[in-house]
Amino acid sequence: MDYALIAKHCRHVETQLFNAFEKRRPLLLDVAREFYPAAIPGLAKGVEEMADGYQHDDDHRMLTTVPMDCMRRGAAGFHGNLTSPTTPWFRFKLPDFMTPDGETTHEQRKLLDNMTQATRWTFSRSNAYPMLNRMYKQLLSFGFSCAVVTADKARIARMTTLRVGTYALGVGDDGQVDTCVRRFAWTAAQIIQNFGRETCPQYVIDAEKNPTARFEVCNLIEPNATGDAKKDDEIARELKMSDETVYRSIFWLKKAAGHKNDGFLRAIGFSIKPIVAPRMECEDGDVYGLGPGIDALDLARGCQSFKFDELNIVGRQSEPAVVAADEMKDEGLRLYRGAVNYARFGEQRAAPVVPVFPNPPGPEGAREERADATQEIARLFYNDAFSVIDAVRRGETGRMTATEVEAHVREAMQRLAPVATLFDTELLDPLVSIMAKYTVAAMPQPLTPEQARQLASVDVEYVSAIHLAQKQSVIVGIQQIFDTAATMAKGGVPGALHRVNADKMLTTLAELIGCPESCLKSDEEVAEAEEAERQAAEEQAQLAKAQVAADTAKNVGSIPLDEDHAGSQLAAAMAQNGGAA
């Protein structure tokens, strides 16, 4: 293997991507100071210093945490209403082209439900949910985030959210992120344990017993050419990975050029893209997005400034500066805290000691300006939209009518819909696909060829609180149609219900709200139930007819049959007609 060729390629990609990232680093550091201090070490320090426990920024004093709290509430809103760990938020379904007759069989739906439940279990077993919350914070603060999902023996899958400032991204011809290079610091013992003693340079082996010595390790994740495309990818030819390996991950030591293996440590392959890198408001040709944190940066700085002014004013009011007569210098004034300025008043003084500012400004103005800035920051982080959803969910809508509540929910959904759609395509779609693949690989019983064929092209449908709110108008419409038809039928229009396909309505509602297939009967079970009801109705009719005949016979036996009574003629006629008059 040509280690020098591989190392040269990796270092070239690393330099190219990080040089592009450096242009944005100062802006991201400003945003981190106001909204996401956890990213400051990665943006302000090198990986060696960051690994030594650098946890804060000594040059910045945060007087108010309101901007950071608004960001956290926005991230919690998306986490709780889009990917809630406690409620189902996605399910698998077959695309239309796989159901030519427009119907999905009960067996197919049951298979998809089982796969959905298994993948949800993988999400719960892995560390995906806490990592998702961290990604929402990064997305709202900076406009982009990145995580790497790999297989894990204990948890089936493991999700690693990368620290902003320690990685750089690259995009492919389609504008989607397909390359990630990251830097991190490990001790010599960690490097030897993860990559093997035989691949490490001698200076790493010599530092194995030194717990404070750290070395910078780099990792490049990028597409790997397969099949005939390998002729244009010399790195793929050198690594000699199988054609199932669509992505490769290469590790190397940053400062090991010229040493053994030229710093190369290991190369592993993935049969699915392991990078999940969502971005917000990303223009064509741009690698990194723009988040609400960048839009709210000036407002956050204003909040800090207004808080400083408010504290300054309150301090002046509690420790007012005063002016005393010049001849009182020797008397010794005891005014506790605060400055005393001596001056010559002459004969016009009204008191020996007077305030410097007779009408000092109050903190009310600064508080009002800070409240306005806080409200705008909360709006930028979607706090108002989630407040509406939470109020409706808890039933705390006050005296609003149903129409007013629906209008507020619709307005909130209009604000959340574009962001939710973007998160669906750039965050959740790739993440669910990766988790599903690792779920299938961990199943105790392999899938049959037919099951594998059906699951190879499934679609992901999201049924979170946000998505259900977007479908609410359709759900309410179906319910209103059925209620109207039922009311018309009760009012003397029996044909109204003939226009309603109750079976289709229930099936459609179940699909819209994400009802599990186990709650519904299959077509065969429905047919059997209908046949049983028909047979029961026929048996009931036969029993009723027999009872009528028996009652008739009983009544006939009590009628006088002599020729003097007209009943004898009626009884004879009924006997000829089998008991029917």
Most confidently modeled range among 186-190, 314-318, 387-391, 512-516: 186-190
- Determine contact, residues 220/265, Cβ cutoff 8 Å: no
Q: Give the closest residue to 470 by CA, choosing from 516, 424, 505.
A: 424
**Mean pLDDT score across all residues of the chain:** 80
- Output the DSSP codes for 483-502: HHHHHHHHTT-GGGGGG--H
Query: In degrees, to the nearest 5, what angle opens at C-alpha 265 toward C-alphas 262 and 268?
Result: 130
By mean pLDDT, which of 95-104, 210-219, 273-282, 571-580 is the weakest?
571-580
By mean pLDDT, which of 1-10, 58-67, 474-483, 511-520 is the weakest?
511-520
Q: How do residues 455-492 score in pLDDT, each as one tens digit? A: 777 889 898 888 877 666 566 666 677 777 777 777 77
DSSP structure class, residue 439? H
Provide the pLDDT confidence category of residue 55 given band limits of 50, 70 and 90. Answer: very low
| The pLDDT of residue 54 | 46
Cα first-last separation, the chain: 104
Domain positions in the chain are: 3-295, 321-359, 524-576
Provide the pLDDT confidence category of residue 135 given band limits of 50, 70 and 90. Answer: very high
Q: How do residues 311-370 score in pLDDT, each as one tens digit? A: 666 666 666 666 666 666 665 555 555 555 555 555 555 566 655 555 555 666 667 777
Percent of the chain with pLDDT over 90: 35
What is the arithmetic mean of pLDDT over 520-525?
Answer: 66
3-state SS assignment for residue 405: helix
Q: Give the closest residue to 36 by CA, choosing from 123, 125, 161.
A: 161
| The pLDDT of residue 130 | 95
User: CA-CA distances (angstroms) from residue 565 to 48, 568, 569, 571?
Assistant: 121, 6, 8, 11
What is the arithmetic mean of pLDDT over 98-124?
Answer: 81
Q: Which residues, 6 or more positions from 219, have their beta carbon under 8 angstroms from its beta carbon? A: 181, 182, 183, 184, 249, 250, 251
- Determine contact, residues 379/386, Cβ cutoff 8 Å: no
